[in-house]
A and B are shown apart, each in its own frame.
Chain A
């Protein structure tokens, strides 16, 4: 079992050692790459000059300057760019959670307390919940700095990765036209249409993965004919799927161990199909359970061009 990142949240002189886990996962029914006979395929780095496949330890990262010069940046140099941030999330500012515009939210993670966290984890979680606030800070993980809002939900701390302001465009920069005069009668017509479709909740069925459903139906039909069926055992050699199945973690267990918690019992993931799961808003209170997969990292690491920052 492995978390994405381990470090310390600090606010004032209080420090809370935590482990970071994914709160969202890639779409699960991703297709496997095979050849026309069903042999599993993978990506490899290839040096066209030496005509050979390269291992990860034969690769370096180079930055091409405007002058066309290539500067190699070593792993140690990457780590050296902001060493304190690779260990700590210092909460320098607290804000009302509702003050953060939705556009800023990028990707959520769960924060589980390290066993050394003691009371401090619950203290921050409870304080955030009581005040409706979020702690803002930043940290470095895998050669990227992330701005995060630390928020509390049902006793659990979450790190919501936020976009930096320069990563967001503005209507002015896009060149959207200025609003003209709105015809009141037209606005009322639209308002009526909105009212006609008003509901209290999101229908979970609307958030279902229809693409996967369509593919599944077709694939099952095709399998009956026996055509194109390949063994999954063979495909499991695939490092992506190996990473996702071997690293499935029971977040509940992590929490029980680290909080000594009387965690509310949830249904095992297999018994709670996605379609039944209700979209949870910031303040809902259903007792649930989570299984985190760590496949994202493995997937994003395989590109010939890598980004940092």
Chain B
């Protein structure tokens, strides 16, 4: 089943314009539940109420307030917000191209595929091919449905263009640099053992090997319960911390090696 494009736009690169369609690259697989009143399982609704008296407030009377500082916020009227909305011209402006590792994984938020749009897909594939030869990603800015986005344009091994939206500076927290004190610094011998252990269970990243077992078991549990089966419940037990590190590493290595032979 072919997916529907969520948006159409134009990649603007210097004097070139390449029309594209945007498709979500992710699909929700979560198990969805309704919230019910425990008394008789009536599905509940959400209401927006005044916090001081619990009275429901209709949509027309709801406003947004922008916090200025710790003391004050300013109510912004709907017409003011509409006036402040960025202008949408469907242009995705490419600002610069940086080496692929210029941005860490923590900046990447939501991925989209870009597909060709319009009469010809020749420019789309020419651009994808040009970008593939560069080991770079393009930083792009655009307005979609009255919202501003910043994204990284890349090309995959499959030859298709993709755009991943980026988080804003204030959203990504800095990594604190820490060095453990002596008592908590592993010895070179321990590190060597750990490297051997890691090596022994190193392999390619094969995403199809990883299943969401929790989701699968949840589906089974629901099925069983729908049929009226009685369920056995199990609780979690916490683990002990490792006390003798070198000994644990050696034992793990022996175990890993044993598994390989078997």
Contacts and interface: CB of A to CB of B under 8 A. Distances in A.
Contact of A252 (B164, B176, B245): B176
B129 A219 contact: no
B260 interface: no
A182 B115 contact: no
B33 A219 contact: no
Interface string A270-309: 0010110101111111111111100000000011111111
A19 interface: no
A44 B133 contact: no
A211 B239 CA distance: 46
B25 A168 contact: yes
Interface in B221-247: 221-222, 225-226, 231-243, 245
A10 B197 CA distance: 12
A76 B236 CA distance: 11
Contacts of A127: 191, 194-195, 198
Contacts of B236: 79, 83-84, 86-87
B50 A39 contact: yes
B96 A199 contact: yes
Contact of A200 (B71, B98, B226): B98
B185 A197 contact: no
B202 interface: yes
A191 B133 contact: yes
Contact of B106 (A108, A189, A210, A263): A108
Nearest to A306: B33
B235 to A, nearest CB: 6
Given A202-B98, A235-B67, 5 more contacts: A31-B67, A40-B50, A46-B47, A61-B35, A279-B102
Contacts of A11: 197-198, 201, 252
Nearest to B83: A218
A232 B103 contact: no
Interface residues of A, number: 203
Nearest to B16: A193
Contact of B70 (A99, A193, A197, A232): A232
Nearest to A220: B68
A145 B136 CA distance: 33
A138 B213 CA distance: 9
Given A80-B233, A81-B218, A206-B150, A198 B96 contact: yes
A34 B136 CA distance: 45
B164 A153 contact: no
B80 A202 contact: no
A133 B102 CA distance: 19
Which of A22, A41, A208 has the most chain B CB within a 10 Å cutoff? A41
A270 B102 CA distance: 25
Contact of A144 (B30, B44, B63, B106): B30
Contacts of B180: 119, 121-122, 155, 259-261
Given A65-B222, A84-B236, A191-B133, A208 B169 contact: yes
Interface in B175-220: 175-181, 183-186, 190-191, 194-195, 197-199, 201-205, 207-215, 217-219
Which of A22, A64, A179, A190 has the most chain B CB within a 10 Å cutoff? A190
B48 A43 contact: yes
Which of A27, A46, A96, A110 has the most chain B CB within a 10 Å cutoff? A46
Interface in B121-138: 121-123, 125-131, 133-134, 136, 138
A120 B210 contact: no
A294 B166 CA distance: 20
B253 to A, nearest CB: 7
A193 B177 contact: no
Contacts of B138: 194, 197
B215 to A, nearest CB: 3
A228 B171 contact: no
B222 A63 contact: yes
Contact of B32 (A40, A85, A196, A306): A306
A263 to B, nearest CB: 5
Contacts of A285: 177
B125 A174 contact: no
A207 B166 contact: yes
Given A223-B74, A308-B218, A288 B231 contact: no
B84 to A, nearest CB: 6
B65 A31 contact: yes
